[in-house]
Amino acid sequence: MLEGGRVWLYPLFLFLALESSIRLSIYGDIRVNSKSISCFKRSDSMRTERILLLTIVLLVSAAPQNIVTAQTTSESNLVLDPIVVTARLIADGTTVLEIRALAKNVGNESIESINLRIDSLDAELVDASAEGMELDATLLVRDRFTEVTLNPQYPIGTNDTLPITVELLVGDLQSFQTEDFSSTLLGDFTYYTRPTSTLGNFTFIVSLPSTAILSQQSAVPVYPTSDFNWTDGTSLSFSWFTSELQPGQERVYIVKYQLELTSMTSSAFTVEILLFTLAGVALGSVLTIGVPKAIRRLRMIGPVRVAGITQEEEVLLDVIRRKGGSCAQKELYTEFDMSQSRVSLTLTNLEQRGLIRRIREGRVNMVYIVESSDSE
């Protein structure tokens, strides 16, 4: 459909142009190779040409409108209302993105699949479900976004609804930088949304990493101004509400925060001091018995296990040890019968206690074990 509602101008201009051509061919003199060929008027032929002309104009003018309608009918029938998108930021740069929505069919035809647009090129599907049951889902990376396609077990009929839940692990929504001679890590989170279907009662929530605070270096650390903010004692959260968002409309949410590197490693320092203290006491006790025995015992010391570590964390550390003390974070996802977000959160707990370190090398997160395993 032409912009401004001037669809009728297109067939009118086409009709006038073809009309002029027919009149010229029937009534005029046509010169070919400097020779004049006289044409005579035939009323029956003229009437036939007019009917054919009008038929062509009607078909041509109607075709584009039908094509546009076919491209938008399926998506226009789908409404996600309400919809809640939650972004849980992790200190390693990844983001756990959870989408909960009630899919509604407001059209006259059944809906076979649901398409969601995620403005990311580094997204991994963690889980997809409908009404508490696993849902078939695929991810397709396009030029500037990732398309998530959900395929319900049964089509969504007219006026029917289907509650859906999608969880993704996204690696390119956050960026970091550090200031020279500073122990502050500056984080920048940006999320764009451009829905392909209508969103109703849309709520977007961002939860910062544990112990993070809003950036003191930015004049506007939260954009746009959030409708609500709260804390659970360890993390700050912000939320925005939009009553309706039409297909193609854009929204952007930006949160700038900071993390003190000293607070991230304070637990590691505490563990190291405790280990050195225990080692000193043990060494003093051994020396009172005899140096030879002390040497033999020091050689028998194996990897240190920190008190309070969970069985799940111990298994994760053992896998990293078997891989030589380091590996890509993605390799760990296939080793355990748990979601990727669960593995990532477990790694975050280990990192905050100084047992591992995660370093981003290109587009890959490398995990390095830190705990001591020698007897020096």
Most confident among 68-72, 277-281, 286-290 (mean pLDDT): 277-281
Comparing CA positions, the residue from 109, 43, 52 lying closest to residue 76 is: 109
Q: What is the pLDDT of residues 19-57, one digit of tens each?
A: 555 554 544 444 444 444 444 444 555 555 666 656 565
The pLDDT value given to residue 72: 45
Comparing CA positions, the residue from 187, 207, 206, 191 lying closest to residue 258 is: 187
Q: Which two tokens stand for residue 191?
A: 């999320």
Q: What is the pLDDT of residues 213-262, one digit of tens each?
A: 999 888 899 999 999 999 988 899 999 999 999 999 999 999 999 988 76
For each of the domains in the chain, give its residue range(s) and CATH number, in order of start.
3-75 (no CATH), 77-261 (2.60.40.1730), 263-369 (1.10.10.10)
Beta partners for 79? 104, 198
Would you say 118 and 146 are in contact if contact means Cβ atoms under 8 Å apart? Answer: yes
Q: Is the pTM of this model over 0.75?
A: no
The pLDDT value given to residue 132: 83
116 burial via Cβ count (<10 Å: 0-12, 13-18, 19+): buried
CA atoms within 13 A on the CB side of 127: 18
Would you say 255 and 222 are in contact if contact means Cβ atoms under 8 Å apart? Answer: yes
Comparing CA positions, the residue from 315, 343, 318 lying closest to residue 329 is: 343
